[in-house]
Amino acid sequence: MATSFVDERYAPVRAEVTEFDLPVQGTIPDWLDGRYVRNGPNPIADVRPDEYNWFTGDGMVHGVRLGGGSALWYRNRWVDSEVTAATLHRTAPRESGRSPLHGPSANTNVIGFAGRTLALVEGGVASAELSYDLDTVEVCDFDGAVRGGYTAHPVQDPATGELHAVSYHFGRGNTVQYTVVGPDGRLRRKVPIRVAGSPMIHAFSLTRDYVVIYDLPVTFDVRSAVAANVTRPLRPLAALALGAAVGRVRVPPPLMNRLPRTRAGSFPYAWNPGYPARVGLLPRRGAPEPRWSEIEPCYVFHPVNAYSTGTGVVVDVVVHERVFDGDLTGPSEGRPRWERWHVEPGVAVRRERLADDHVEFPRIDERFTSGVHSDAWMVSGTAAGEHRLLRTRRDRGVEVMRDFGPRSAVGEFVFHSESRDSAEGDGIVMGLVSDLAGPTTELRILDAQTLEDRAAVALPQRVPAGFHGNWIPDSVVRA
C-alpha cells in the first residue's frame, strides 16, 4: 500500500511516546496547572493518500502536562476501539450494543467534563473515556444514558455547567438527537428532532434561549458507503436497501450492528444539491420542535458563538460555500469565510460577511458562550496551508495577525483566562505549531491580545495536523 503523503501535514506518526521534562523557551505562566490535549486522525494501518479522507483516521490524542512553570510530560496515545485493538495488541472497551457503528476510533475532539477526560467523535462511532495519562478506559455513553453515538462538538453552558449535544448518524432516519447532560454526568433531557433527511451535523450553537440546528446539504451518500464496505456482487442490493431506509425510517439496531466495520479513508457523506438548506431554532425550554428558516446552500463545520435577540438569534459562523462535492478527501472546495447570520423563525436567514480572510477553527473565551462575546481567535492562511493566527473583534474584524511562516502548520488555538474573574480575553492562547521543514512541533503559548510569545514547549516528535483540543485544568478532572 502507498504510504507517502503528498501533503506532509497529514502524514501519521507510528509510535506512542512518553517523555518527561520537556525543553522550554520563554516562561510558562505558573498559573497554568493541567494538560493541553489535542485529538486528531492518525491511521493505524497504511492508507492510500490519494483516497484518504482526513476525517476518517483512527484517533490519536497528544497531551502536554504543565505545572509550576514547567512542561512536565508529553504523551501521545491511540484511542482504542474494536477496530484498532488487534493492531495495538490490547483489549479495547466493548462497543457492541453501545455504539451503532464500529469504525476508526474517536478522532475529533477531547474535553474535560464531570471529572472525566473524553475523546469525542460523531456519526454513530463510539466516543471514549480516557485516563489522566490518556490511555483508553471505557466507551463514553454517560453510563448508558446516551447510546447511539454522541458528537464531536458538545457545548457547555457556562451558567449551568450542563453539556449540550446534537447527535446524528444515518441509522436514525430523519431525526437527530438533542441531549443535555448535567455537570454530575447524568442525563437531564433527550429530544428527537426531525430534519429533512440524513444530514451531517458537525456542530450546533447554543444561546440562553435556543439550540441552533444547522440542517445543511451534506448528507449520507449511499453509493460511497456501499463501495467502501460491501463486496462488489452485493453492492446493488445493499444500495437498494440503504437507499430505501436512510433519511426515511430508523434502521433497527440489530441491522446496524451487522454492518461491516468502516475502514479508515472511506467517507460516506457528500454534497447534496437537492437537499433543502435551513437553520432551526429549538427552544431550550418549552416546544419540542424547532422553527426553521431557509438559507442559501452552504455548510458550517464550526460556529464561533451565538446569542439571543428579542425576535431570534445572531450567530457568528465559519462558512464553506460547498464541501465534499468533487473532492471527497477533505473540505477543499472554496475558501471558508467568517460570517454573521441573523436568524428569525420563518424568515430567510440574512448573511453578513465580516472579513475576507480564509479562516477556520474559531475559538472564544468560553466564559462568554451563549452570550455576546468580543474576541475570537481563528487560524488563517493561503491555499498552501494554515500558517497564521488571527485575533478578531466581533465588531471590528481582524485586529492582530501572527504569521508563523509559510512552512508552518498551525493548529487550533484555545484560550484560557488567568483567573475566573479576569476580563474577557485577558489570558493566553495555546496551540500546536509544526515546522514542516524540520519536521518538528512545538506547543506555543501566546499572549491572547498581542499574540506575542510567552513560551514554546518542544515536543519529542512531530504532531500531524489534527482537529480539536482543549486546556483541561487539573481542577476539573480526576487523576
Going along the chain from its start, the domains and CATH numbers come out as 8-476 (2.130.10.10)
Confidence label for 231 from pLDDT (cuts 50, 70 and 90): very low
Helical packing angle, 235-245 and 222-229, nearest 10°? 140
Confidence label for 250 from pLDDT (cuts 50, 70 and 90): low
The whole-number average pLDDT for the span 121-128 is 94
Q: What is the pLDDT of residue 101?
A: 78
State the Cα–Cα distance between residues 126 and 269, nearest whole angstrom.
Answer: 18
The whole-number average pLDDT for the span 339-367 is 96
33-37, 56-60, 263-267, 474-478: least confidently modelled range: 263-267
Residue at grid coordinates 500500500:
1
State the Cα–Cα distance between residues 242 and 221, nearest whole angstrom.
Answer: 10
Q: What is the pLDDT of residue 114?
A: 96
Cβ partners under 8 Å of residue 258, min gap 6: none
Alpha-carbon separation of residue 47 from 44, 93, 116, 276 (angstroms): 9, 25, 32, 34
Cis peptide before 460 (omega within 30 of 0): no
pTM metric for this prediction = 0.91
Helix (H) or strand (E) holding 269: strand 269-271
CA–centroid distance for 29 within its chain: 27
Q: What is the pLDDT of residue 46?
A: 79
Pairing assessment for the beta strands 414-417 and 408-410 based on DSSP bridges: unpaired
Letter string b/e over residues 439-470, b meaning 16 or more CB atoms within 10 A of that residue's CB = bebbbbbbebeebeebbbbebebbbbbbbbbb
| Burial class for 366, CB neighbours closer than 10 Å (0-12, 13-18, 19+) | middle
- Is residue 50 a contact partner of residue 123, using CB atoms and an 8 Å limit? no
List, in sequence order, every residue forming a beta bridge with 180; answer none if it has no partner: 164, 189
Nine cell digits for residue 430: 495555546
**Quick one: which of 44, 49, 130 has its CA closest to 93?**
130
State the Cα–Cα distance between residues 78 and 96, nearest whole angstrom.
Answer: 20
Which range is most confident: 94-98, 171-175, 229-233, 342-346?
342-346
Letter string b/e over residues 337-359, b meaning 16 or more CB atoms within 10 A of that residue's CB = bbbbbbbbeeeebeeeebeebbb
62-66, 148-152, 169-173, 447-451: least confidently modelled range: 169-173
State the Cα–Cα distance between residues 388 and 446, nearest whole angstrom.
Answer: 13
Ordered DSSP codes for 14-41: ----EEES--EEE---TT--EEEEEEEE
C-alpha dihedral, 56 to 224 to 85 to 75, nearest 10°: 0
Pairing assessment for the beta strands 397-403 and 408-410 based on DSSP bridges: unpaired
- Is residue 432 a contact partner of residue 414, using CB atoms and an 8 Å limit? no
Q: Which three-class secondary structure state does DSSP give residue 194?
A: strand
Residue 293: pLDDT above 80?
A: yes
- Is residue 40 a contact partner of residue 54, using CB atoms and an 8 Å limit? no
Question: Radius of gyration of the chain from Cα atoms?
Answer: 21
Ordered DSSP codes for 192-245: EEE-SS-B-----EE-SSEEEEEE-SEEE-HHHHHHHHS-GGGHHHHHHHHHHH
Share of the chain above pLDDT 70, in %: 88
C-alpha dihedral, 34 to 80 to 230 to 149, nearest 10°: -50
Nine cell digits for residue 467: 482537529
- Is residue 112 a contact partner of residue 476, using CB atoms and an 8 Å limit? yes
Q: What is the pLDDT of residue 479?
A: 58
Average pLDDT of the chain to the nearest whole number: 89
